[in-house]
Amino acid sequence: MYRTWCTNICRSRPMLAFALALGLATAGPGTQAISVGDPSVFGVFAGSSPCGAPIRQLLGIPPDAAADLMQWRLTLYQDAATRAPSRYELRYAYGSTAPGRPGIASNVRTEARQGQWTAGTGTRSNPDAVVYELGGGLSLYAVDAGVLHVLNPDRSLMIGNGGWSFTLNRMPQPEATAGWMWLSPVTWVRWLFRPEMSYPIGPLASGPSVYGVFEGRSPCQAIARELQLPVDPDCAKVKWRVTLYQDPATRAPTTYKVEGSLYRSGARAGSWTVAQGSRAGAGNVVYQLASTPAEPALLLAKGDDNVLFLLDRNLDPLIGRDDFSYTLNRRSGAM
């Protein structure tokens, strides 16, 4: 009976078959153990990013490699006595994705590099920003202690897409256990038979009245708590489109529109302002999207003109998981 049930369900839900084959886990670059309390470990950071031309050139990935997605695992070590930066170990996998399947589905290649790392300062838009330099040509902007972001050679923040960002998140995080790969068998069954949900999204805005359109996917639970929105306990990810409008003559902020999977009944809208006071190392610039009768303000730290980081109510960047980050990437808009 079990074999018949599993066969029928797996045929109708390919994602379940994929998960069962993996044993409800992944075998990517994030499988090594985390040393909790080891004074020689400064931090372990993980993330998932696109595998486009900029990162291929930076890491020497062949331009003709069949790859859509990268999975990162970075361990930074320090001197246990002085806490000075010492060495690093970077593992990354890249390969192709498939519809309805999380992670890398095929053509998986895994690479590793190691060396020394140092802490310096200066991104293209903020000379005071803290930057971690990995020997071998890779630099990461330290948004704060829990969030790093990959830099281009010109020190600008690398731009992701609507699916993944070039953000690495400190591991482990409590919400890491809320992702699809850690669901219990009972929760898996509930997830499999959940009703299909859709949400309205308008045409992509353009023109001089648009400051920018930013998109991304983030973990669900923490941001839902921040916005005081009820979500299913099994909600693992949120899709975002944030459109910021401006006065076309003065470029002063005017209104905003937020669309995505948290707003199935209609877009959130209101006014937005540029504020100061973020504890993120992004020049202390915060885009504050005004509260609504149902929700508090939505806070976004400006990494640079192209990358925004979702903040909590204490103005700290939200820390994501190894699959999704609380990062939004510019898709279009005036500059």
Q: pLDDT by residue (tens digit) across 208-266? A: 999 999 999 999 999 999 999 999 888 999 999 999 999 999 999 999 999 999 999 99
> At 183, phi and psi to the nearest 5?
-65, 140
CA distance 215 to 220: 15
pTM: 0.84
Own/partner contacts of 252-261, CB < 8 Å, gap of 24 or more, are 253/211, 253/287, 254/209, 256/289, 256/290, 257/202, 257/205, 258/289, 258/298, 259/199, 259/200, 259/201, 259/202, 260/199, 260/201, 261/197, 261/199, 261/237
> Which range among 2-16, 25-39, 75-89, 187-201 has the greatest average pLDDT?
75-89
User: What distance lies between CA 126 and its chain's CA centroid?
Assistant: 21
Q: Model confidence over 124-142: pLDDT tens digits?
A: 999 999 999 999 889 999 9
DSSP lists the bridge partners of residue 118 as 133
Residue 324 above 90 pLDDT? Answer: yes
Name the average pLDDT for the chain.
Answer: 84
CB-CB contact of 137 with 58 (8 Å): yes
Place of tokens 């923490």: 222
The C-alpha R_g of the chain, in whole angstroms, comes to 20
> At 322, phi and psi to the nearest 5?
-80, -10
CA distance 91 to 75: 9
Q: Closest Cα to residue 29, out of 98, 112, 88, 86?
A: 112
CB-CB contact of 84 with 108 (8 Å): no
Residue 276: Cβ within 10 Å count: 8
Pair of tokens at residue 191: 């997830």
Residue 230: Cβ within 10 Å count: 6
Place of tokens 């839902």: 224
Q: How confident is the model at residue 18 (pLDDT cuts 50, 70, 90)?
A: very low
Just give the CATH number of 177-332.
2.40.128.640
CB-CB contact of 93 with 110 (8 Å): yes
pLDDT of residue 234: 85
Please compute the mean of the pLDDT values over residues 86-115 and round it to a whole number. 92
CA distance 301 to 283: 9
> What value, to the nearest 5°, has the Cα angle with vertex 74 and ends 72 and 78?
175
Q: How confident is the model at residue 76 (pLDDT cuts 50, 70, 90)?
A: very high
Residue 228: Cβ within 10 Å count: 9
Locate the domains of the chain by residue range.
Answer: 25-171, 177-332
Helix runs in the chain, H state only: 2-12, 14-22, 53-59, 185-192, 221-226
